[in-house]
């Protein structure tokens, strides 16, 4: 394996250490409490001391949103685009342009819950498991550099659930709102003994979403957590939970349908042939983590197991995969020591994970009309069987130390080896040519395996200019492997192409301010992607190749100013320029063009008010224009003045929350794209109201 210049520089300068002790000393001199981050080092530290842009959303913010999905929680974070087609748990997530080329879902970004990846080794993420009502914090780490990020060059979304040892979590919560939306949650903490705690959580959410056709969702989740404290202060926390989630996925609108929606407020689901798409899933989740002292080291092992299945009607086929198993572990050690006569912290660990799919099946659609339009989501003939195994083995090491007063340096590296193997039998294939029957004879038996070595080094520095203000700098790099679908398409349609992982490198500097009146984060970054994977549109036989280089420049600002004890104002915004330095696809040269769906700027401006038991917030947001295709043939105007408001009242254990999203009932598109001269629109939800009541006891 060849090492790039950044890797060599980091390895040659790699030495031990820094520390929660240094950070604690520094924190003691600040005038306000800072939110805690763990995505940089796996060790808690205030976000002010993390040498990269990181956003932490706390429980109070989550509660205020009356959220039905994670998009409601993170969509105002600078540099983040979070989009849901149906206002349910589906999410299209983009961080600084990472994940942009995925046609759906989340790619190039690691989503974790309590240290367990919700992201497959080949980069596909399921949000089905995540219970909005069991989230304590959500942390977003942007770009390469997180010690958690395996095969995730775009960053990490780390979700921390409520601790089993939190005795204040007993509650009953009910919420109801527009379009048949209902949310129920009940939690109970039980102290079994001085050493043992138990908590039980039940959640149910549903929405008819009848402002759109084929747009319902519901999810039901039940979980039990157990915690044990040993006599030597070791801690064992375990969880078992079960989720059932059902989601309809509506079609995008045509240009004519979008125009009609703006006039009437009504939508159809008739643009495409695949009008019965959805995902109906279930998942068993088991997670156990332990913390103990081993001499000078703190040892934090974690093991987890998932079993999931889904019925997933999508374009061309119905996926019916019921036997999917995930086994994983993360073994972490950290040790406090001294370097340069100052406290320091050393961290290293090993990870292993394998995803095993047994007897995965694809079926034809049983009911289609003469034009190939799907009438129901009932499965027809067996079209394909497949077994697969994706395994990722990793190791990481990091030192944090303070060579001089007021300076903290992180030096780290992570290495992962990803192996994807697939064996199957294609009996029938969808006929993408449009001529003849909808399905044709498949290619029969197939088998292939690919291994990718993924290297992620970083070096970051934070320096305290004053007691309230820090500056930081970072250089971090990460490899990103192709997804399983990209690998399969290339193997099938262009077997001579050797698809490699690409490299994302982030150069970033910024400023972080925490004072009695101000909280501010400003970051400037340059993020080049080399050897990028691009799609070659070759009729109905698309494939992928390493033919791209992209340059990303950006500025992000997140700030809050406390005017007085009752009033605060804030601004979140980003300014970016994402361009192809080199991009040749199927003989068409897009070099020098801007990336589609990459607006020049995004913003949100808000005002918070709090007086005694009462609180309120008003926020307005907007997105600038952007190109709708790689050819830069046309722009969408974006939108401005989207208004969300919320109000709350707290009395003893009682809490009322009212939220109104899209107050002015703006009719706009969350995303517009264009392919083969056809534009399609994903529309934003109309005005919606949600009222929640909870009682903590």
Distance of alpha carbon 82 from alpha carbon 158, whole angstroms: 15
Rounded to an integer, the average pLDDT of 87-114 is 82
Please give the pLDDT value at position 432.
82
pLDDT at 20 over 50: no
Distance of alpha carbon 351 from alpha carbon 31, whole angstroms: 38
Distance of alpha carbon 237 from alpha carbon 226, whole angstroms: 6
* Position 11 confidence tier, pLDDT thresholds 50, 70, 90: very low
DSSP state for residue 340 in the 8-state scheme: T
pTM of the model: 0.89
- Residues 319-329 have pLDDT tens digits of 999 999 999 99
Please give the pLDDT value at position 104.
67
pLDDT at 18 over 70: no
Nearest to 44 by CA among 26, 24, 29, 59: 24
Please give the pLDDT value at position 540.
62
Distance of alpha carbon 297 from alpha carbon 349, whole angstroms: 12
CB of 564 closer than 8 Å to CB of 536: no
pLDDT at 523 over 80: yes
Domain ranges in the chain are: 5-696
Terminal CA-to-CA distance of the chain, rounded, Å?
58
- Residues 232-271 have pLDDT tens digits of 999 999 999 999 999 998 888 999 999 999 998 888 877 7
- Residues 344-383 have pLDDT tens digits of 999 999 999 999 999 999 999 999 998 889 999 999 999 9
Percent of the chain predicted with pLDDT > 70: 93
- Residues 451-499 have pLDDT tens digits of 999 999 999 999 999 999 999 999 999 999 988 878 888 887 888 888 8
Residue 667 CB burial class (10 angstroms; 0-12, 13-18, ≥19): middle
Strand partners, 99: none
- Residues 443-458 have pLDDT tens digits of 999 998 999 999 999 9
Distance of alpha carbon 29 from alpha carbon 18, whole angstroms: 18
CB of 695 closer than 8 Å to CB of 672: no
Please give the pLDDT value at position 677.
86
Distance of alpha carbon 513 from alpha carbon 79, whole angstroms: 19
Phi-psi region of 4 (alpha: psi -120 to 50; beta: other; left: phi over 0): beta
CATH assignment, 5-696: 2.40.170.20
């Amino acid at each position: 394996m060849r090492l790039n210049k950044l890797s060599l520089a980091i390895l040659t300068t790699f030495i031990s250490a820094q520390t929660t002790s240094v950070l604690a000393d520094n924190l003691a001199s600040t005038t306000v409490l800072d939110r805690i981050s763990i995505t940089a080092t796996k060790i808690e530290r205030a976000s002010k001391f993390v040498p990269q842009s990181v956003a932490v959303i706390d429980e109070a913010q989550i509660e205020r949103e009356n959220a039905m999905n994670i998009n409601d929680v993170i969509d105002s974070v600078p540099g983040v685009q979070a989009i849901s087609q149906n206002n349910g748990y589906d999410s299209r997530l983009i961080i600084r342009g990472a994940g942009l080329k995925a046609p759906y879902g989340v790619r190039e970004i690691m989503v974790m819950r309590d240290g367990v990846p919700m992201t497959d080794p080949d980069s596909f993420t399921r949000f089905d498991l995540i219970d909005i009502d069991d989230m304590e914090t959500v942390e977003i780490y942007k770009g390469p550099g997180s010690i958690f990020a395996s095969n995730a060059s775009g960053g990490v979304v780390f979700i921390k659930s409520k601790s089993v040892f939190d005795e204040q979590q007993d509650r009953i919560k009910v919420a109801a709102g527009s379009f048949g939306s209902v949310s129920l949650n009940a939690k109970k903490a039980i102290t079994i003994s001085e050493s043992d705690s138990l908590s039980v959580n039940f959640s149910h959410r549903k929405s008819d979403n009848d402002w759109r056709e084929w747009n319902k969702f519901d999810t039901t989740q039940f979980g039990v957590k157990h915690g044990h404290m040993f006599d030597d202060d070791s801690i064992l926390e375990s969880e078992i939970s079960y989720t059932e989630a059902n989601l309809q996925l509506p079609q995008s609108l045509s240009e004519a349908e979008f125009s009609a929606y703006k006039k009437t407020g009504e939508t159809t689901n008739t643009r495409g042939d695949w009008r019965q798409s959805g995902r109906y899933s279930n998942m068993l989740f088991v997670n156990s983590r332990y913390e103990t002292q081993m001499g000078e080291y703190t040892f934090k092992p974690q093991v987890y197991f998932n079993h999931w299945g889904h019925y997933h009607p999508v374009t061309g086929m119905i996926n019916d995969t019921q036997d999917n198993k995930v086994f994983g572990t993360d073994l972490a050690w950290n040790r406090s020591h001294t370097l340069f006569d100052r406290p320091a912290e050393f961290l290293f660990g090993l990870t292993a994970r394998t995803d095993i799919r047994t007897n995965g099946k694809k079926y034809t659609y049983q009911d289609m009309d003469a034009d190939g339009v799907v009438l129901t989501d009932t499965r027809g003939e067996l079209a394909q069987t497949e077994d697969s195994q994706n395994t990722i083995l990793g190791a990481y090491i990091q030192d944090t130390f303070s060579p001089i007063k007021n300076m903290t340096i992180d030096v780290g590296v992570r290495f992962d080896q990803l192996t994807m193997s697939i064996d199957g039998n294609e009996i029938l294939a969808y006929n993408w040519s449009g001529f003849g029957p909808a399905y044709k004879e498949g290619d029969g038996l197939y088998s292939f395996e690919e291994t990718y070595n993924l290297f992620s080094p970083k070096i970051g520095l934070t320096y305290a200019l004053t007691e309230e203000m820090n500056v930081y700098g970072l250089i971090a790099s990460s490899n990103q492997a192709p997804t399983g679908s990209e690998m399969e398409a290339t193997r099938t349609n262009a077997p001579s192409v050797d698809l490699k992982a690409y490299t994302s490198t982030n150069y970033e500097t910024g400023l972080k301010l925490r004072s009695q009146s101000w909280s501010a984060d400003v970051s400037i970054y340059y993020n080049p992607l080399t050897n990028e994977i691009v799609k070659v549109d070759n009729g109905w036989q698309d494939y992928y190749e390493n033919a791209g280089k992209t340059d990303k420049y950006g500025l992000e600002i997140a700030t809050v100013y406390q005017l007085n004890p009752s009033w605060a104002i804030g601004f979140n915004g980003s300014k970016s320029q994402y361009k192809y330095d080199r991009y040749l696809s199927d003989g068409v040269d897009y070099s020098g063009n801007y990336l589609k769906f990459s607006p020049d700027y995004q913003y949100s401006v808000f005002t918070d008010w709090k007086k005694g038991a009462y609180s309120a917030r008003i926020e307005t947001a907007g997105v600038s224009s952007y190109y709708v295709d790689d050819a830069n043939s046309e722009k969408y105007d974006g939108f401005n003045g989207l208004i969300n408001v919320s109000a709350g009242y707290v009395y003893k254990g009682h809490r009322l929350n009212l939220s109104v999203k899209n107050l002015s009932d703006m009719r706009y598109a969350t995303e517009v794209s264009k392919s083969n001269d056809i534009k399609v629109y994903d529309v934003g939800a109309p005005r919606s109201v949600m009222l929640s009541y909870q009682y903590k006891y």
